[in-house]
Amino acid sequence: MAATINTNVPSLNAQRNLSLSSASLAVSMQRLSSGLRVNSAKDDAAGLAIAERMNTQIKGLTMASRNANDGISLAQTAEGSLGKIGDMLQRMRELAVQSSNATNSADDRKALQAEVKQLSDEIDRVAKQTTFNGQKILDGSFIGAVFQVGANSGDNVTVGALTDTRAAGLSNIMFSTGSLAAVDATDATVGTFAAKIDAGSLTIQVGSAPAVDIGEIRPAGSGVQRLGDVVAAINNKSADTGVTAFMTKNPDGSYKIEFMSSKLDGATPPMPEAVTFAGFQAASTGLADASMNAMLSPATGTDIKGIDQLTIATQKDAWIALKKIDSAIDQVNGARAELGALQSRFENAVNNIDIQVENLAASRGRIIDADFAKETANLSRTQILQQAGTAMVAQANAIPQQVLQLLQR
């Protein structure tokens, strides 16, 4: 090896190795201080790209979990209000059942109606004022709601509509109704009231179903009594025919007979079945087929939809009220069931999101997190190499001094 001064190859080699060990030491210190294996793209370009995509998903899923929890809160708010509406409907039903009883006077029914009206108004108020984050949720306006429960577009749960629980929107029924406003039940008109009516003489047929015999009618003491017995016989078969009769005395001494029929056909939407009365004669029953068969017609308007005009002022009104309140209760209970199912779905979505976040975070950590055991070992190695390299640079720098010995005499 030539003895030179200008180019100290051992020193250059020692300096190069010292520079490498210093760079490795700097990397180890950076990783240990940050806790990250990948601190910039130069550390692991592909790993950084993969980790950042995972980080995007983690942050999106974390927000989606909050969204789903907000959905749970909304459903709980709506379900709580529906529970109170259901309680008020149950009370209204109790009042309608009470009003249906013949022992109540007109003044009694007015008192019952006053409470029914207040309850109906309160149901309407709750429906219109129940809000979540400023949005009304029970007045029928909360429709087509999309809840983002995932990190990517299209990861959503959509609620078609929350039920309209305003008084005008609750309940939807169908029945037919009719009345004979002035029925003359005097002894002169019902001339054969003293004779019994045999079984099979009076029948009611609903639609195409077999005719139902209302049974034997006992001998009566007056025409009015016979009329009352006929009404009772009709109502005794209400379970079979769906036909209910109500008898009310008019101021002029005549009687008003109101009929309600609840049997529906299989059409879409269902309509009331036609009702045919047979064997009824004014001389024996006070009622005549000719007038009865033409009176029943489908109810319309507020008689079939909404409870805002609900009344229990008469027994007939109470019959309608029971039908409408039952429909409203079914509607509210169905809405509560849907909200409960929605809450369950959101809760499962949150659980699924939490699992995804956990697994994605673990995957990202395996790529980007520093291995402290490995990095501390590397730190110790590079520190020793740096110290040794510094010493060797000093030794290498002393080598050219040996040339001076050649110049001595």
pLDDT tens by residue, 297-310: 999 888 899 999 99
Terminal CA-to-CA distance of the chain, rounded, Å? Answer: 23
Q: What is the pLDDT of residue 409?
A: 56
Q: What is the pLDDT of residue 3?
A: 72
pLDDT tens by residue, 264-300: 988 888 889 999 999 999 999 999 988 898 889 999 8
**Helix, strand, coil % in the chain, rounded to nearest 5:** 55, 15, 30
Tell me which residue of 322, 303, 302, 318 sits closest to 89, measured CA to CA: 322
Examine the pLDDT at 234 and tell me if it is beyond 80: yes
Mean pLDDT on 383-407:
84
CA–CA dist 23, 20 (Å, integer): 5
CA–CA dist 107, 121 (Å, integer): 21
Phi, psi of 274 (to 5 degrees): -70, 140
Q: Using DSSP bridges, classify how beta strands 143-148 and 156-161 pair: parallel, antiparallel or unpaired.
A: antiparallel
Examine the pLDDT at 203 and tell me if it is beyond 70: yes
| Mean pLDDT for all residues in the chain | 91
Tell me which residue of 159, 214, 179, 184 sits closest to 335, measured CA to CA: 159
Q: Give all strands (DSSP E) within 189-242, no chain letters.
A: 203-206, 212-213
Q: What is the pLDDT of residue 177?
A: 93
CA–CA dist 325, 339 (Å, integer): 21
Q: What is the pLDDT of residue 30?
A: 87
Mean pLDDT on 336-362:
94
pLDDT tens by residue, 6-62: 788 888 888 888 888 888 888 888 888 888 888 888 888 998 999 999 999 999 999
Q: What is the pLDDT of residue 18?
A: 85
Q: What is the pLDDT of residue 22?
A: 86
Q: How far is Cα of residue 60 from the mean position of the Cα atoms in its chain?
A: 25
CA–CA dist 54, 48 (Å, integer): 10
Q: What is the pLDDT of residue 1?
A: 62
Examine the pLDDT at 2 and tell me if it is beyond 80: no
pTM reported for the whole predicted model:
0.82
Instruction: Tell me which residue has tokens 């959905």.
Output: 71
CB atoms within 10 A of CB 71: 24
pLDDT tens by residue, 100-143: 999 999 999 999 999 999 999 999 999 999 999 999 999 989 99
**Which tokens go with 195?**
């004779």
Q: What is the pLDDT of residue 291?
A: 87
Q: What is the pLDDT of residue 121?
A: 96
